[in-house]
C-alpha cells in the first residue's frame, strides 16, 4: 500500500521580505548608482517572490522515484584522474561522482540515478537545486558581494547572527526586542554570541580555544586566566570500551587528539601536565561521575564536556535525554562548560537544533554543514557571554563572514521552521519503519540506532553490514558502513534529506528489505 503524498507547507519569499525592505532598497540604489542599471528593474527583482519547494518540483521528484538506480543518460566517456592523496584516491568512487543533482537525486558519471540517502554526507538537507536558493541568484544579480572582511560583517551576516540566537533560545520570529534582551544577558548558559567560520572543524576548535583560555593566555599581553596553573581535563564521549575513538569533533590537530589521534603528542601533553583527555562510555553516568571525582579537584580541573547527541561517526549511537540531563546538571554545578557538537544534526530537527528537543542549556553549540544547504562552506559556534574571552583574531575569524553564505542559512532556516511538523512526521515514520524492519530480521540486525532521519541499522557482524551496503549502493542508494574505526559497531548509516516524504521512505525501506532477504542474509548465514 502506497502512503499518501507528504504535504509540505508552502514557503514563498522575496529577497526584500527575507533580508528587510530598508536594506534591500539601499542595495538597489547602490547597484544602480555604480552599474547604471535601471533602478526600477532592480527593485522588481528584489520584490520577486520565490516558491521554495513548488508542487511541480515535488511532482517531478516523485515521478523519478521508480528510476532510482537506473541509467537515465549516457555515462561520461572520459573523466579527470585528479592528483589527490593515496587514501583519497583509493576511496573515490568515480562512477557515482556528480554530473547533476535535483532534489534528493544525483546523476553519477555512470549516467545512473542515485538517491542521496545520506544527504551528500549531511551537506544538503534540502537536496540539490533547491528552488528556494534562487534567492541567491537574485542577490548576485543585485551585485551583492559574497566576500568581505570580519571588520565589515554585512547586514545579512549580522541578521543571521540574530536569527541563530533567536532559534537557539526558542524565541518566536518577529520579536527583535526579545533577541536584543537575550544578546544583552550576562546570565549563565544563555547562548548570545556567534562566531562565523567556514568549517565545522574550526567551529569545534574555536570552542576548545575559548575553554582553554581559562587556563592559558592567548597572547603575552593577556591577563592571567582564572584557572592558570591547573591542568585542564577535557571529557569526551568515547566508545563502548571507554576509549577515545568513538567521538568526532573535527580535523584540526587538538580536536583530533580528542578521538585518540596523535597518541604520542597527547601522551606528552599529559606527561607535562598541559592537557588531559578522558573518555566516558555512551550513556554511562558512572564513568562521568568517576572522571569528575578524580579530575575536578586539586591540580586538575575538568575543563569541558564535548559531545554529540547522535554519534554519527560511531554507528549513530544515541545519547539519552536522562544521561545528558544528569551530566549537564553536574557540569553546571561544577562550573564546567558543555559543548554540543551539532555540525551533523542541526537543521534535521523540528526546533532546528537537537539540543532544544532535549531541553539542554549548553555553553557552546557548533552548527553548520547542513544549514547553508551545500551552497557554501559556512559553520558557526554559538556560545555564552562568559566565554567572550578571546581577541578578534584569537579564534580564526578572518573567513566566515560571507554574505551569500549567510543568505543561504536564512533561506534554509525559513523552510525548516515552517515545515517542522511535516519533517518530524516523516522522520518518525522512517524510524518506525526501520524498527519494524529490524524486528523482522533479528537474525541479521541487532538494533536500530539514531533518531528519525539520522538512523542506522546495526548488524550482528561486519560482513553482513558491508554486503548490505554494497547491495543497496548497486541499486542506487547512498549507504555506508564505517570501517575506518576498528571499534565502531557494524552499522549502515542513513540520513534522508528533509524534503524526502513518506514515498521516499517506502522505497528506501523496501529496498532494504529486499537486500536483507537476498545478499545480506546470505552473507550473514555464511559467517
Weakest-pLDDT range from 151-155, 169-173, 219-223: 219-223
Q: Is the dihedral of CA 233, 237, 239, 245 positive or negative?
A: negative
pLDDT of residue 314: 92
Instruction: Assess whether pLDDT exceeds 50 at residue 527.
Output: no
Instruction: Assess whether pLDDT exceeds 70 at residue 376.
Output: yes
Mean pLDDT for the chain?
94
Instruction: Tell me if the domain spanning 150-218+226-418 has CATH number 3.90.230.10.
Output: no
Beta-ladder partners of 231: 300
Domain boundaries, the chain: 9-51, 150-218+226-418, 421-526
pLDDT of residue 526: 37
User: What CA–CA distance (Å, rounded) separates 419 from 412?
Assistant: 11
Instruction: Assess whether pLDDT exceeds 70 at residue 116.
Output: yes
The beta-carbon contacts of 476-480 under 8 Å, at least 24 apart in sequence, are 476/68, 476/69, 476/70, 476/112, 476/113, 476/114, 476/115, 477/68, 477/69, 477/114, 477/115, 477/117, 477/508, 477/511, 478/96, 478/114, 478/115, 478/116, 478/117, 478/118, 478/120, 479/117, 479/118, 480/118
Mean pLDDT of 451-456: 97
Weakest-pLDDT range from 34-48, 419-433, 480-494: 480-494
pLDDT digits (tens, 9 = 90+) for 57-92: 999 999 999 999 999 999 999 999 999 999 888 988
Q: Is the dihedral of CA 289, 295, 301, 305 positive or negative?
A: negative
Tell me the CATH number for domain 421-526. Answer: 3.90.1150.10
pLDDT of residue 326: 98
pLDDT digits (tens, 9 = 90+) for 10-25: 999 999 999 999 999 9
At residue 524 the predicted structure's pLDDT band, cuts being 50, 70 and 90, is: very low
pLDDT of residue 523: 43
Amino acid at each position: 500500500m502506497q502512503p499518501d503524498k507528504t504535504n509540505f507547507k508552502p514557503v514563498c519569499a522575496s529577497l526584500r521580505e527575507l533580508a528587510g525592505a530598508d536594506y534591500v532598497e539601499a542595495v538597489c540604489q547602490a547597484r544602480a548608482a555604480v552599474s547604471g542599471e535601471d533602478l526600477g528593474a532592480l527593485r522588481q527583482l528584489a520584490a520577486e517572490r520565490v516558491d521554495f519547494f513548488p508542487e511541480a518540483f515535488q511532482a517531478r521528484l516523485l515521478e523519478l522515484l521508480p528510476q532510482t538506480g537506473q541509467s537515465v543518460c549516457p555515462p561520461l566517456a572520459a573523466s579527470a584522474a585528479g592528483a589527490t592523496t593515496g587514501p583519497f584516491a583509493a576511496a573515490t568512487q568515480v562512477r557515482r561522482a556528480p554530473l547533476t543533482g535535483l532534489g534528493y537525486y544525483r546523476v553519477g558519471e555512470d549516467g545512473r540515478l542515485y538517491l542521496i540517502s545520506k544527504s551528500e554526507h549531511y551537506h544538503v538537507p534540502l537536496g540539490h537545486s533547491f528552488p528556494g536558493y534562487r534567492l541567491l541568484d537574485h542577490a548576485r544579480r543585485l551585485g551583492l558581494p559574497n566576500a568581505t572582511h570580519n571588520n565589515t560583517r554585512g547586514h545579512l551576516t549580522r541578521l543571521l547572527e540574530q536569527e541563530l540566537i533567536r532559534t537557539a533560545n526558542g524565541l518566536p520570529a518577529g520579536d527583535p526586542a526579545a533577541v536584543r534582551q537575550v544578546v544583552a544577558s550576562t546570565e549563565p548558559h544563555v547562548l548570545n554570541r556567534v562566531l562565523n567560520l567556514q568549517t565545522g572543524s574550526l567551529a569545534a576548535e574555536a570552542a576548545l580555544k575559548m575553554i582553554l583560555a581559562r587556563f592559558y593566555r592567548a597572547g603575552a599581553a593577556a591577563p592571567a586566566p582564572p584557572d592558570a596553573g591547573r591542568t585542564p581535563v577535557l571529557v569526551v564521549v568515547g566508545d563502548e570500551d571507554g576509549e577515545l575513538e568513538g567521538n568526532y569533533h573535527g580535523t584540526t590537530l587538538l580536536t583530533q587528539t580528542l578521538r585518540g589521534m596523535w597518541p604520542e603528542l597527547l601522551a606528552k601533553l599529559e606527561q607535562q601536565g598541559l592537557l588531559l583527555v578522558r573518555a566516558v562510555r555512551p550513556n554511562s553516568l558512572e564513568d562521568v561521575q568517576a572522571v569528575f571525582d578524580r579530575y575536578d579537584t586539586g591540580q586538575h580541573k575538568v575543563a569541558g564536556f564535548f559531545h554529540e547527541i547522535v554519534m554519527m561517526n560511531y554507528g549513530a549511537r544515541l545519547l539519552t535525554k536522562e544521561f545528558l540531563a544528569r551530566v549537564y546538571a553536574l557540569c553546571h554545578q561544577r562550573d564546567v562548560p558543555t559543548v554540543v557538537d551539532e555540525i551533523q544534526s542541526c537543521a534535521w530537527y523540528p526546533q532546528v537544533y537537537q539540543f532544544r528537543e532535549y531541553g539542554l542549556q549548553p555553553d557552546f553549540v557548533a552548527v553548520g554543514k547542513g544549514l547553508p544547504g551545500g551552497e557554501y562552506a559556512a559553520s558557526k559556534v554559538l556560545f555564552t557571554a562568559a566565554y567572550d574571552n578571546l581577541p578578534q583574531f584569537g579564534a580564526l575569524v578572518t573567513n566566515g563572514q560571507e554574505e551569500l553564505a549567510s543568505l543561504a542559512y536564512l533561506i534554509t532556516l525559513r523552510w525548516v521552521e515552517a515545515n517542522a511538523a511535516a519533517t518530524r512526521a516523516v522522520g518518525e515514520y522512517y524510524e518506525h519503519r526501520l524498527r519494524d524492519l529490524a524486528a523482522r530480521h533479528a537474525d541479521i540486525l541487532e538494533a536500530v540506532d539514531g533518531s528519525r532521519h539520522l538512523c542506522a541499522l546495526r548488524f550482528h557482524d561486519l560482513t553482513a553490514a558491508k554486503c548490505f551496503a554494497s547491495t543497496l549502493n548497486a541499486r542506487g542508494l547512498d549507504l555506508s558502513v564505517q570501517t575506518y574505526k576498528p571499534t565502531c559497531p557494524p552499522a549502515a548509516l542513513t540520513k534522508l534529506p528533509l524534503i524526502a516524504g513518506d514515498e521516499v521512505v517506502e522505497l528506501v525501506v523496501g529496498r532494504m528489505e529486499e537486500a536483507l532477504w537476498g545478499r545480506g542474509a546470505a552473507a550473514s548465514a555464511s559467517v
